[in-house]
Amino acid sequence: MIQFPLTHEDLSFLTGAHRVSITRAMKALKEAGKIILEDKLLILPALEPAS
C-alpha cells in the first residue's frame, strides 16, 4: 500500500510522460487488476509469480 499525494501531473513530470498518458496508464492498470485506487491510497495487490 502506498500513500502519497502525487497527482497525475506530478507523475507525468517525474516520468517525462504526458499527463493524459499517465491517466490512461493508471486506468489500464486498474482495469487489469494490477493496482487498486482507494481515496489517496495506491494498493499493489499480491501477484502470482509467472509460470
pLDDT at 15: 93
- Angstrom distances, CA of residue 19 to CA of 23, 25, 45: 6, 10, 24
CA atoms within 13 A on the CB side of 37: 15
pLDDT at 3: 66
Burial zone of 22 (CB within 10 Å; 0-12 exposed, 13-18 middle, 19+ buried):
buried
Domain ranges of the chain: 2-43
- The label of the residue with cell 500513500 reads 3
pLDDT at 8: 86
Q: In a structure prediction context, what are the per-residue pLDDT tens digits for the chain, which is 51 residues long?
A: 666 688 889 989 999 999 999 999 999 999 999 999 888 788 888 867 666
Is the alpha carbon torsion for 16, 19, 25, 29 positive or negative? Answer: positive
Q: Is the pTM of this model over 0.75?
A: no
pLDDT at 46: 81
pLDDT at 51: 66
